[in-house]
Structure 1
C-alpha cells in the first residue's frame, strides 16, 4: 500500500494502459481520479475500482484545453483536498490518422499536438501548486519509443514530451515535485490494433529482444516505482519499457 492516503489523477484512464495505471494505483491505496474525454469509459473504470474496494472518481477532461485541465484539478481538490500524483497518459493514438507530414491537414496536426504534446503541460500547470502545498509530489508523462524513431507527428509529439519532462523536472525540483516519463514499446491494446496492421505484428515482435508484444500490466511496475518514494532521487528521466526495442547508449 505505497499510496495509502495519496491522491492521484490519471488522464486517458478510460481504457488501455491508462486504465491499468488507475487500477494499480487504487489497489495500492490511492484515491484515483479517472480522467478521460470519454465520460462513459471513465465512469466504467471508476465503478470497477470501487467494486474492487478502491476509491475512484470519474472526471471528464479535454487535456488540450487549459480551462478543462484546471476544472479537472479543481474537481479533484474539492472532492479529496488536494493532489499528490499526476499521470499524463491521455493521447490521440487509437484510430489516429496515418499521414505524411507533407500532406496532413493542418487542423488535424494542430489538434494532435495540442493533445499529445501540450496536454501534459496544461495538466501539470493545473496540478503543481496543489502538489507543492502538500509538500511535493510526482508526475509521470506517457512517452513512447516512437520518440526515437521516424514516426511522423506521433514521434514529434513524444520527442517533445521527453523534452518537456526534463524541463518540468528542472523547474519543479525546488518544489519537491519529481517529473519522469515512461516510454512504452509496442503494447497489445485495442488502440494498437487499430494503428498497426495485422501483417506487421509478427515482424514487429521478431524485432524485439523479448519476443512478444507488451501488455498494459508490463508498464505498471515502472509507473508505481517512479511515483513512489522508492524513486525519491529520480527525476528528469525517460524509462523505456519496451522489450528491448530501443537501445540508447
Structure 2
C-alpha cells in the first residue's frame, strides 16, 4: 500500500548512494519527490529515472550549508507541489572526505565540513518547518551514523551532533505536530565508502557486526519510510540503528 500518496518530500543528497535510494523508494510509494543536491548532472539523472519509472520527481540544486539556498529549495517545493510533508536530511561531505585528526585538520576545512554535515540539517529544518506547521504537521528523518559512538574524528563528532540535534528539535517541533528522528547506519557499501575507507578497515568493521556483511542502501529504506510515515505517528526524537548489530547502546 502506498503510504505517501499526495505527499511531498525533499531528499537532500539524493543524487547518488543512500539518498538516491530513499528518493526512489519514496517515489515508488507515490510521494512527489524533490531530488535536492549540489550535483546537478547526477541529480537531474535521478529525477528523470524516477519519472521514467512512473514516479513524480524534480531536481533542485541546493547547498545545505547556506540558509538562503535551503530557503530557496523550500520555496521551490511549495511552488512546484503546493506543500512540504516530509524532509530527509541526507546531504553530507563523505566521499572524498579528508582523513585527519581533530587536533590537526585544517580549520577552514573543519568549519566547512560541519556547516554541511551538522548545520545543514538544521538549515533545512528551519527552511521547512513553518510550511509543515501551517499544513498541520509533517515528519523529518536525519542521517546519522554509528560513527557517533566510535572513534571517528570530526565525522563522528558531526554525527553525534546530529543525534543531539534530532532530540532537541523533537521538543521544539512537537507542538507543531512535526516529528523528527534519525537513522544511524553502520558501514554501507556505497561508492563513497569504497572511495574513502580502506578495504582492510572495512573487513574489520564487518567482523565486529552480528550480521557479517556490509549494509546496502536498500537495507536503510524500510527504516526511512517507516519513520516518515504515519506508522510512526507517536515516534519522535529517536535514533534508530540500522547496522547489522555493529553497535550496542545501553
TM-score, structure 1 normalization: 0.99
1:2 aligns with 3
Residues 1-249 of structure 1: pairs in structure 2 closer than 5 A? 1-249=2-250
Q: Helix, strand or coil for the counterpart of 2:105?
A: coil
Report SS of the residue matched to 1:29: coil
Distance 1:184 1:199 in 2: 19
Quick one: distance in 2 between partners of 1:154 and 1:184?
Answer: 13
Per the alignment, in what secondary structure is the counterpart of residue 175 of structure 1?
coil
1:55-91 CA deviation, whole Å, 9 max, x = no partner? 0010000000000000010111100101000000000
- Between the aligned partners of 1:199 and 1:217, the Cα distance in structure 2 is 24
Deviation at 1:186, TM superposition (A): 0.2
Alpha-carbon RMSD across the aligned residues, in angstroms, is 0.6
Deviates more, 1:83-92 or 1:194-203: 194-203
TM-score by length of structure 2 reads 0.99
SS at match of 1:178: strand
Q: Distance in 2 between matches of 1:124 and 1:145?
A: 22
- Give distance in 1, aligned partners of 2:67 and 2:197: 31
Cα deviation, residue 207, structure 1: 1.2
Q: Which runs of 4+ in 1 moved over 6 A?
A: none
Gaps of at least 5 residues in structure 2 are none
CA distance in 1, matches of 2:122, 2:103: 27
What secondary structure does 1:99 align onto? coil
Q: Distance in 2 between matches of 1:131 and 1:238?
A: 22
